[in-house]
Structure 1
Amino acid sequence: MLHTLCNVESGRLSRVEAEEEFTVDQLAAKVGMTVRNVRAYAGRGLIPPPRLVGRTGYYGPDHVARLTLVQELLGKGYTLAAVERMMSELPDGAMALGVFQTLVNPWTPSEPEELDELQLAEAAGIPHDPAIIAKLVELGIAERMDNGHLRIPNPDLLRTGLEVIKLGVPLDAIFILLPKLFAQADAVAKTYVELFRSTVWRQFADAGLPAEGWPEIQRTLENIIPLAGQALVAAFREAMAREIEVVAYEELGLDPNTLPSTG
């Protein structure tokens, strides 16, 4: 889907009329770049040429959106060469850029956090152990930084794990659980994405990717994640309650089949 989106012909999208235009200095200030970087990115084709009035170039919403996206992609670790390839395939139009940003920016409930290894051990209530830190890095829970600190991409996930440790669940058991949890989360995510792809996106693509349809596509992408999360939590609560009852009956030597049906 992303490949198809990125290869939409520019002619299919109407350029957004600029309600506000900027000189190169104003553009650099708006996106938080130096003028030198703006010009360097322009020279590499990452933004289209400005609208010229005499010898002065004026930049609009597409330029702001593209430069913002360039910063985000570089911040995520993409090389400049990779960003160039992606941006070269990106169609014109602020709305298409918005959809692309939605696709490349995974929804996360909180901003990444930074802490050192001792702070992490203290938060978990366990002695500092380099092997544990290495395992967290291996699982993607933490990332090593040049200053020796750890970057936590998803602090909510880490905090949940720390709370489970405080309940008395051994750390080794959590390390065994996490890959299974990630795999199951991936499977659920693929189910919802395929649902979007085979319905809303397919109808939009079959209609020729009309410019007026981009806002609805972006709204769907932005809303499907929290809605999917709500449905997943509701289903999980019911399944978890049922599973706890089954295990409780088994541990007490009772027949789980005597449980009342929840369905």
Structure 2
Amino acid sequence: MIRPMKNVPSFLHKLFNQAAEAPAMPDAEYTVDELAVEAGTTVRNLRAYQDRGLLPPPERRGRVGIYNGEHLARLRLIGQLLERGYSIASIRELLEAWEQGRDLAHVLGLEQAIVGAWNLVEPTRLGFDEVQVLFGADLTDDNMDRARELGLIEFAGDHLRVLNPRVFSAGVQLYRSGIPLDALLEQFAAIRRQVEPVSAGIVRMIVEHLVNPLLSSSLPHVSELNDLNRQLLALRPLVEQVVDSELARGLQLSANQELGERVGELLKGFLKR
């Protein structure tokens, strides 16, 4: 049974739902030769699609297989996908995902390209004793719970999963410099509150100007999807460069102001002596 899908990119929604709404003649019946002619393919191809699980079997009437409009719609869909450069294996996976209600964007690799391009390094595991050595008396239950709430760690039996080793490593160095752990956690929470809206805006910009134009009207060719994947993977360091530069600028301005005021106060106190 061919059925419509929701929550998929518009080009896939249009293409697959055209097949779902077909056929114009739902009661039409075809022999294998008639179906091949109607679909603009060959009997050999039709049987190959059946053997590979792309086309449901016909209704058997004695020794004759009878196909219907849904078979024709499926064949036309397969033809369009083949014309766009999709392999038989990829088409089979798309059709299976479609029938099971799964996200076709994920099957095409778009989700992985977008999400994977921004994934952080893999989590690491540390024993509680190791973490205790790093943070000493500051490793209180409250601080542990706060770190977990912020998604920095997870409890895993007798170990901790450090979900973002880069942030954890920076936190260790800052703690060693003399900043208390609770102050670090509070500042991290503040950073996240500011960064998440900025990150959302960046992703919306990328989707609007790079992803949507490719997915808005027609099924992209495999080569176009590959190009998009590469482009998305190349964007992360560029975006990080902009964000890092702006953060450095903000730190410089704040440092000049805060340190300047503090030094000024010290000088005033010295001159009054």
Q: Which amino acid aligns with 2:164?
A: N
3-state secondary structure, aligned to 1:210: coil
3-state secondary structure, aligned to 2:179: coil
Q: Deviations over 1:124-157 (max 9, x none)?
A: 3546533322222122110011x22111111111
1:224 Cα deviation after fit: 2.0
CA separation in 2, counterparts of 1:155 and 1:85? 38
1:163 Cα deviation after fit: 0.9
Residue 174 of structure 2, aligned match among 164, 182, 193: 164
**Taking CA–CA contacts closer than 8 Å with sequence separation of 6 or more, which of the two structures ends up with the larger relative contact order?**
2
1:232 Cα deviation after fit: 0.9
Greater radius of gyration (CA)? 2
Taking a change above 3 Å as real, the CA distance of residues 6 and 221 of structure 1, as seen in their structure-2 partners, is: farther
Taking a change above 3 Å as real, the CA distance of residues 127 and 242 of structure 1, as seen in their structure-2 partners, is: closer
Residue 218 of structure 2, aligned match among 208, 211, 230: 208
Q: Which amino acid aligns with 1:176?
A: E
Segments of 5+ residues of structure 1 without an aligned counterpart are 13-48, 53-58, 67-83, 255-263
CA separation in 2, counterparts of 1:61 and 1:184? 44
Task: Tell me what 1:241 maps to.
Answer: 252
1:115/1:150 contact within 8 Å kept: yes
CA separation in 2, counterparts of 1:118 and 1:11? 57
Q: Which amino acid aligns with 1:153?
A: L
1:113/1:152 contact within 8 Å kept: yes
CA separation in 2, counterparts of 1:140 and 1:120? 16
Q: Deviations over 1:5-35 (max 9, x none)?
A: 39824957xxxxxxxxxxxxxxxxxxxxxxx
CA separation in 2, counterparts of 1:209 and 1:130? 53
CA separation in 1, counterparts of 2:100 and 2:203? 23
Residue 8 of structure 1, aligned match among 7, 12, 27: 12
Residue 118 of structure 2, aligned match among 107, 118, 123: 107
1:142/1:152 contact within 8 Å kept: yes
Q: TM-score, normalised by structure 1?
A: 0.60
CA separation in 1, counterparts of 2:239 and 2:193? 17
Taking a change above 3 Å as real, the CA distance of residues 232 and 3 of structure 1, as seen in their structure-2 partners, is: farther
Task: Tell me what 2:127 maps to.
Answer: 116
Task: Tell me what 2:194 maps to.
Answer: 184
C-alpha RMSD of matched pairs (Å): 3.6
CA separation in 2, counterparts of 1:169 and 1:117? 21
CA separation in 1, counterparts of 2:240 and 2:152? 20
1:108 Cα deviation after fit: 3.7
1:200 Cα deviation after fit: 1.5
3-state secondary structure, aligned to 1:89: coil
1:102/1:221 contact within 8 Å kept: yes
CA separation in 1, counterparts of 2:238 and 2:131? 32
Q: Does 1:218 align with 2:229?
A: yes
Q: Which amino acid aligns with 2:167?
A: L
CA separation in 1, counterparts of 2:98 and 2:140? 42
Moved more, 120-129 or 3-12: 3-12
1:7/1:91 contact within 8 Å kept: no
CA separation in 2, counterparts of 1:149 and 1:87? 38
% identity of equivalent residues:
19
